[in-house]
Amino acid sequence: MAWIILLCAGLLEIVWAVGLKYSHGFTRLTPSVITAVAIIASMGLLATAMRDLPAGTAYAIWTGIGAVGTAIVGIIFLGESANIFRLLSLGCIVVGLIGLKLSS
């Protein structure tokens, strides 16, 4: 169950990372509120997952899900670069996350 909670925390990290862009430095109310709620929920779920998972593993996977997910959202929806080096780099992060999961 802790892994599912951690996955949800990571998905919410993607929401708040993208929300930061749309909040324009917290000058737009609705994206700012969504971002703040997602931050609180994401960290709350991370803290809950850390009850049963090693802190280093949980934090690295939470951060990795957020980083890779936000980069993918940027590529698909925000017109960011999808060059081969960037995609290979994201793949390396995913391989590292899988390694952390398998070693826990």
For residues 45 and 61, is the Cβ–Cβ distance under 8 A?
Answer: no
Give me the half-sphere count of Cα atoms (radius 13 Å) on the Cβ side of residue 93: 18
Q: Using CA atoms, how far apart are residues 8 and 97, in angstroms rounded to an integer?
A: 15
**pLDDT tens-place string over residues 29-62:** 999 999 999 999 999 999 999 999 999 999 999 9
* pTM for the model: 0.90
Please report how the helices 2-23 and 29-49 are oriented relative to each other, as an axis angle in degrees rounded to 10. 160
Q: Using CA atoms, how far apart are residues 75 and 80, in angstroms rounded to an integer?
A: 4
For residues 50 and 58, is the Cβ–Cβ distance under 8 A?
Answer: yes
How much is the mean pLDDT over the chain?
96
Q: Sign of torsion, CA 36 42 48 53?
A: negative
| pLDDT (0 to 100) of residue 98 | 93
